[in-house]
Every structure is written in C-alpha cells, then in structure tokens.
Chains A and B, each alone.
Chain A
Amino acid sequence: MNNPVLENIRRSLGRTAPTSPSPRPAIYPPRQAESTEAEIVRSLEEVRKLSGVAQTIHADTVPDALKTLVAEQNIKKATAWNTPNLQQLQITHHLASLGVELVSPNAGKHDLALCDLGITEADYLLPETGTLVLKSSAEKPRAVSLLPRVHLAIVRPGQLRPDLHQVFDEARHDPYLVFITGPSRTADIELTVTLGVHGPKSLYVWMLEEV
C-alpha cells in the first residue's frame, strides 16, 4: 500500500524499505510491594492527600458507612455497577432502604448525569499514588465514575498491585481502562485548586477487608 507519510519518514531516516528495529531499550523495574497492611495504609493516605475520603470497611459495616455517606453528601439519587462483588454487598438494597432513588447504570447519559452518587469497584489499586484502575464493560459502564458528583469506589486488598508494570501485564489487552487519582481538579483560575470542575467533586475509597 502506498503511504506518502511513511515513505517520507523512511526517506528522511535514510531508508528505502521497512526494517525491523533493534530491541527497545530496557525499562526500569517495578517497585517492590511492602506488606499488605503497609500497602493499604499507603494507598489510603495517598487518596487523602488528594482530598479524597478513604477508609477501611468490613462487609457488616457497609450499611453504616453508606448511611453516613448519604447524609454527608445529601444523596438523593444513585447508580451502581452491576458486578457480583457489589451485588454481594447488597449496596443497592441498603441505599434503597435509606430512601435513595436508584438509577440503572445502563440508563442514558442524561439520567446518569442527574445522579448524586456513582458506585464502582476498582479492578486494581496502586499504593504509591492512591490510583484506582477501572475497566469498562456492559456491567461496568464508564459514565458511573464520571457523571455523578460523588464517586465511591470499593476495593479489596487482592486488587493491590505494587506498580504500573503489574497492572499493564494483566490489563493491556482491555479495550478501555481509566486511572483515577483523586477527585476532578483544576487550578486554571489564578492557580486556585478547585475540585469537581467536570468529573466528581468528591471521591470515596473504601477498602473492604475480610474479617
């Protein structure tokens, strides 16, 4: 196939035909994981440094934690991913009993935009930066972590990965990934840091520890 751009690149690089490159220079090795406890502490600390709210919870403290969140953020309408983990925690059931109206995560964008709270779970968590890694699928719509003004992500210790390397090894063939490191922020007006310019204003990260 004739491609003038590629041909001109080859001409400029002094080649007439495509060549296979030598191996790419080696990368830097990943950081070593500390103990699970230390990694959890570190992750939650990093989220807090970025004005996120981070805490550890247990399956039986979920209802209380939700109650506090709903009151704190004045949640009227919410949506949540349809994943087995979240179903097992009966998140939507607890929210409904708190009088919160539930919207399907597969509802249209206009409906999701009216939600106060979007609940997801993180597929991975990076301790060094407090970064949540979320995949995307019909059960895990992207807009749930984006359109509502509050985002709650539930994560388990098993999702901790020491560095980007391990996340990429597992997820590089996923069609979509998003890293979330703190709530949406800007400093575009007089360098004043303001949260929630387009994405969620508030980010909650709950580390679900097994009893």
Chain B
Amino acid sequence: MSETPTYIGFETYTEHIPPSIPAAVQQATGRFVGGRAARVAELPHFEQLRQIASDIRLHTIENLDFYLERLAEQVTAAGGHVHWAATAEDARQIVLDLARRHNVHLVVKSKSMATEEIALNHALEAAGIEALETDLGEYIIQLAGTGPSHIIVPAVHLTKEEIAAIFSEKLGIEAPADPVELTRIARQVLREKFLRAEMGISGANFLVAETGTLVMVTNEGNGRMCTTLPDLHVAVVGIDKVIPDWDSLTVFLKLLARSATGQKLSTYTQFITGPRRAESEFGPREFHLVLLDNGRSNVLRDPLGRQVFKCIRCGACANVCPVYKNVGGFAYGWFISGPIGAIFAPQMLGTPVARELPYASTLCGACAEVCPVKIPIPAILRHLRRRVAEGDSLAPATMPAPIRAVAKLSAFALAQHWIYRLGARILPLVMSIFRRGDWIPSAPYPLSRWTKARPLPPFTAGFRQWWQKRKTGL
C-alpha cells in the first residue's frame, strides 16, 4: 500500500469492500463533521479566515521558490541542515545515509504523509534498521500490516477485539479488548522504544520561511517524543508545506484542528527552529530537513491543478464526501485518500496511473464547502477528467479520437443557436429512419452502445417547441 502505485484500480477495489469498512469510517466521519460544525459555529469570522488562508496559500504557491530559498537560509542559520530531494529515491538515500553515518539501529517515527509517499519504512527495514510508527493508530496498522483507512484515525476499521488479537500475537502478551488497557500497553511498549531510539523521523504541518521553523501538531505526544529524546531529528517534508511567516500561522492554526477533529487546537503544537542550543534542555543534537519535491514542481505548471498544494491535510473534505464515506481510505490506492487524494494522485503520479480517481466523485461540492483553504476540488476534478480524456503534457488521451471529435463538434454546435435550432429540426427526421413504433430499438454506432441494453426514446420535438407548447397549454 505504501509503495508508489503503478495503477490505482479504484473501481475494482470498490467491488470488494467489506461492510465493516464503511460502517467504521462513517462513525469517524460523523464524529468529525459534528465536531467541526460546532467549532465553526463558535467562530463568527470563520469564513473570513478561510478566505485569508486561501489567499495566503495561493500567494505562497505562486512564490514558492522565494519562500523555499528563505526557509533554507533560515534553517541553516539556526544550525539545521537542509537537503533537497528531487525524487523519492533521493529522499530515501538522504535518510539512509544519515542513519548509517550515525550508526542508527532504531528509528521512532511520528505520523508523516511525506514518508508514506516515499515508502521510507520499507527502505529502512531493507537496510536492517527498525522503523517504528508511534502514533497509536499508525502503530496498530503497522503491526497489522495494512494501510490507513482514515487520515486522522488510520485504524478506525479495526475493532478493539481485532486490535487485542493483533497485540497478543505480535507483542506476545495477553491483551484485553479494552481501549484504555490497549492504549496503556502501547504506551509501555513505545515508551521503551522512544528512550532507546537514536533517530526520530517526523513530517511537518507547516514550515515557516521567516525563521526556518518547523511546526508540528499532534494529540498523543508521540511527535514530541520523536523530536525531544533521540539525538538526531530528521524531518521529511513536501516543498508545498512552506508558509511565509508567523503571522500567517495565526490563521492556519485556527483553521487546522477545528477543521480536522473539531478541536480548537490539537493537544501539542511544537515550533522547532534548529537543533537544541544546550544539551540539558533535551531535543536533538542535529536537525535535518529533507525538502521533498518528487514531482511537485512539475504539477505547478497547471495553474488550476496546483491549487491542490494549498492543502493543510485536515481531512475535512473526506469526512463529508459521500463517495469516501462508502469506500474508505484504501480505495484511493495511495497514502492520501478522499477528494483531496483524487486530485493529488493523478497530478503526482500522472493520469495513466490514477485516471479512475477524478471520476471517484459525485461532484456534489461538499468538499469545497468545508475546505479551510478553499481548494476548488470539484473544479479540479472536472479539469482532471478533461486531462484524462483529452490527454495532458504527461500522458496521451484515453478517450478514442472519434468520441473526442464528436464532443468537440457538439460543443461548437451547442454554442451557436442557429445550428442548435437547425439540428433540433433535422434530428427527428433522421431518427424516423430508425424508429419502430414508439421506440428506436437499434441505432448505429456509437448510439448502438445504448440500444444494445435498452431501446432509445426518439426525439419528438426540440426543447423550444416543447416549451412553446407547454406555455400555451397552460
């Protein structure tokens, strides 16, 4: 699941969803939607905050080179190390080299989408380094060997009985089916790992260009453990995570937790600028920031599509999505699911790999309504459907040429009212050739694809005539 997919078969997957998945996912999404609504109602200026957040994100994307350069300067000035990773392979190599250089045997990881994207755990394990997820949900699915079903609660598809069975099997202990007791066991097991690990790996929610500060939000405290106890902290972060300054943070921090879990703020928010200054204050001796491109800089070419990078990963779009709620996170085939995944994966992996995802939506628009940074997800979905059908700079069209020609012709004809009127008069005449009684039982290609399954009702009158008749009839 975490490896880079070569084809995402959304439809095939959805044919075999166990009923427990939508049930569990809907329990989670219901909780988060309710929580979000309550927090939004408390904040009268929520809409203004959304607009400002959207403006700042757009501004940052349009000046990404400037802010990244500034960020890198500031991280270096604070005593940190900046690594630029053009590809996933580059990023994996950078982390592996650091681990080898510091003779690392155990890595503790705080939930990070970027390391999922580059399948870092596999690379570390292949190099003989134990890499442990420490967010409780991530830890559970790592033990279970599955992928996340929800961005905020990745193990929500598993019952407490299933988790108890996994703990008993993998940890060799007697684990009762009780959330409190299971959490206590995880605390105990992971605490020992935190204290022993030589390297902590994290992602980031934001990178502040102004001071080179990494901002990280967690509820459990595992993120703090990973960045406080090991001597080495390596953060792998997508280049889209940069924001201009601390003033911008006032906007995003108010939106993030409210949109994600319905909290006002998550339990812990850390602001890390470089390594520790004094040994006795704790914190890493070395701080490394791996800035991951992995195709993002190419996606920037598309002025509409690049708005996907406004995303602050709250998951609100998934929580309201009627498709997501019925298929869960696995169906999207990569580390990021829901409506945002449906516009992220096709752009990052190319439309041939993820061409089904832009269609994994009803275009109902609920996602755009809740998005805290106003990403026009439905518009991008439609845009990507066009790219899938007509081809883009990265991939050829998947729609056959005759169909594209017909579509182009119709688009032209429908825009000229005289052609439209003429067509409305001619069409019934053409159809009368194929008409048998009240129906058209078989029509030539491409309409035959319809009539193979059921007869086609003939056009009896143009819309204008019908409308005229209806009006006078009243």
Chain A residues packing against B (C-beta within 8 Å): 3-6, 8-13, 15, 18-22, 24-28, 30, 46, 50, 105-106, 109-110, 113, 128-129, 131, 136-138, 140-143, 146, 163-165, 168, 172-192, 194, 196-200
**Assuming the A-B contacts A5-B297, A25-B52, A186-B220, are A198 and B179 also in contact, with contact meaning beta carbons closer than 8 angstroms in the complex?**
no
| Partner-binding segment picked from B181-189, B311-319, B460-468 | B181-189
B154: shortest Cβ distance to chain A, in Å?
A: 8
B305: shortest Cβ distance to chain A, in Å?
A: 11
Q: Is B259 an interface residue (CB 8 A)?
A: no
B330: shortest Cβ distance to chain A, in Å?
A: 17
Q: Is B68 an interface residue (CB 8 A)?
A: yes
Q: 7 closest A-B pairs (Cβ-Cβ)?
A: A199-B221, A188-B137, A21-B63, A12-B300, A25-B55, A179-B269, A198-B221
Q: Is B363 an interface residue (CB 8 A)?
A: no
| Partner-binding segment picked from B199-207, B270-278, B376-384, B421-429 | B270-278
Which B residues are in CB contact (< 8 Å) with A185? Answer: 219-220, 267
Contact B250 A164 (CB under 8 A): yes
Which of A18, A165, A172, A186 has the most B CB atoms < 10 Å from its CB? A186
The complex places the Cα of A118 from the Cα of B222 at a distance, in Å, of 17
A113: shortest Cβ distance to chain B, in Å?
A: 6
B217: shortest Cβ distance to chain A, in Å?
A: 9
Contact B272 A27 (CB under 8 A): no
Q: Mark B290-318, 1 if CB is under 8 A from A, else 0.
A: 01010001111100000000000000000
B45: shortest Cβ distance to chain A, in Å?
A: 6
Contact A5 B264 (CB under 8 A): no
Contact A6 B228 (CB under 8 A): no
* Contacts between the two chains (Cβ within 8 Å), count: 238
Contact A24 B66 (CB under 8 A): no
Q: Mark B258-291, 1 if CB is under 8 A from A, else 0.
A: 0000011111111111101110111100000001
The complex places the Cα of A21 from the Cα of B134 at a distance, in Å, of 39
The complex places the Cα of A153 from the Cα of B219 at a distance, in Å, of 18
7 new A-B pairs (CB below 8 Å) besides A27-B56, A163-B250, A176-B281? A6-B69, A12-B301, A21-B62, A27-B251, A136-B282, A179-B268, A189-B155
Q: Which residue of B lies closest to A146 (CB)?
A: B224
Among candidates A22, A106, A178, residue contacting B280 with C-beta atoms closer than 8 Å: A106
Among candidates A18, A177, A198, A200, residue contacting B190 with C-beta atoms closer than 8 Å: A198
Q: Is B117 an interface residue (CB 8 A)?
A: no
Among candidates B67, B156, B245, residue contacting A191 with C-beta atoms closer than 8 Å: B156
Among candidates A165, A176, A183, residue contacting B267 with C-beta atoms closer than 8 Å: A183
The complex places the Cα of A109 from the Cα of B276 at a distance, in Å, of 15
**Assuming the A-B contacts A131-B265, A175-B78, are A187 and B225 also in contact, with contact meaning beta carbons closer than 8 angstroms in the complex?**
no
B56: shortest Cβ distance to chain A, in Å?
A: 5
Which A residues are in CB contact (< 8 Å) with B67? Answer: 21
Among candidates A4, A15, A24, A146, residue contacting B59 with C-beta atoms closer than 8 Å: A24
Q: List 7 A-B contacts (CB under 8 A).
A: A27-B248, A174-B271, A176-B281, A180-B268, A181-B268, A184-B267, A192-B179
Q: Is B135 an interface residue (CB 8 A)?
A: yes
Contact A9 B179 (CB under 8 A): no
Contact A129 B264 (CB under 8 A): yes
**Assuming the A-B contacts A5-B239, A137-B277, A190-B160, are A180 and B267 also in contact, with contact meaning beta carbons closer than 8 angstroms in the complex?**
yes
Q: Is B254 an interface residue (CB 8 A)?
A: yes
